[in-house]
Amino acid sequence: MSVEKHVITDAPPSPQEQLRGRQMRYLIMMGLRIACLIAAAVVVIVDAPYALAWVGVCIAGMVLFPWMAVLVANDRPPRKKTESHRLWRRQERLSLTNNKPK
């Protein structure tokens, strides 16, 4: 009889750790958005060379960072191949019950 051993280093991070990591990535990206806003204001006030181009880059950052932050914050680790989707399991049960001989 073989006993399967689980090594603690193979264990996935806990849901709380995953959530904390996603929250930190979200906060960092929102901080970058604020940095883009401040940088755009400074470029306009200082009247830097190529100010219009820099302001355009900053505006693009202010628009794209929130979108990317939400994608990153809602990301979760991929499912293992052993984890099946509930719908698939239900379909398998239904196909098994429908294939019973009469």
Q: Mind listing the pLDDT tens digit for each residue in 3-45?
A: 776 666 767 778 888 889 999 999 999 999 999 999 999 999 9
Q: Mind listing the pLDDT tens digit for each residue in 49-65?
A: 999 999 999 999 999 99
User: Using CA atoms in the order 91, 93, 94, 95, what is the torsion angle rounded to 10 degrees?
Assistant: 80
Q: What pTM value is reported for the model? A: 0.64
Strand segments, DSSP code E, in 1-102 are none
